[in-house]
Structure 1
């Protein structure tokens, strides 16, 4: 599951909206929306994110957060480490190889450490 998919599903469930109701309102198939929620589809388009924001009638910080989560939600990424330090290439390869072995807590811890190391406040 991707960060955007998890948030989308939580918002939908909290409001008691079915997958087919939301899919119909957004003009997408239920299968696509389900795949998006479960991280089996790539990053949603800007237009779909805007449609979700309008559908849930969210504003400001929550809308910005949905947009940020969508940007971070491509389930299959490519990391180009050419020109970077060897440690960066090792890190990228270790993550690619071992990410499935991490617990949710360990993954969250690594994300927080990376945010701290890069000064990312979001």
Structure 2
């Protein structure tokens, strides 16, 4: 599941909206929305994000921000980076499925710390 998909599902559940009901309102298939929620589809279009915002009455850019970080098949280009960076990217690709929630949270905290400095 992607961050966008998780938030979309949470919004639906909080408001008591079915997948098929939302799909009909947005004029997309329920299968497509399900795939978005489960991370089996790529990034939603800007138009769909706007429709979701309007449907749920969202006025901030949360869904746009979440969509940007929700591509389920990430490609890391380490060309020109250090061998250590390339090694890290490859190790992450190999181990991402086996990392615990705590390990992911710790790695995320390190990356967030790096953004501030």
TM-score for the superposition, normalised by structure 1:
0.91
Instruction: Structure 1 unaligned segments of length 5 or more: list them.
Output: none
**1:103 Cα deviation from its structure 2 partner:** 1.2
1:88 corresponds, among 85, 90, 98, to 85
**1:119 Cα deviation from its structure 2 partner:** 2.2
The residue number in structure 2 matching 1:99 is 96
The residue number in structure 2 matching 1:6 is 6
SS of match in other structure, 1:5: helix
Instruction: Structure 2 unaligned segments of length 5 or more: list them.
Output: none
d(CA) in 1 for partners of 2:103, 2:62: 23
**1:86 Cα deviation from its structure 2 partner:** 1.2
Residue 67 of structure 1 pairs with residue 86 of structure 2: no
The residue number in structure 2 matching 1:37 is 37
d(CA) in 1 for partners of 2:66, 2:49: 10
**1:109 Cα deviation from its structure 2 partner:** 2.0
The residue number in structure 1 matching 2:105 is 108
Instruction: Tell me how many residue pairs correspond in the alignment.
Output: 117
**1:71 Cα deviation from its structure 2 partner:** 0.2
TM-score for the superposition, normalised by structure 2:
0.95
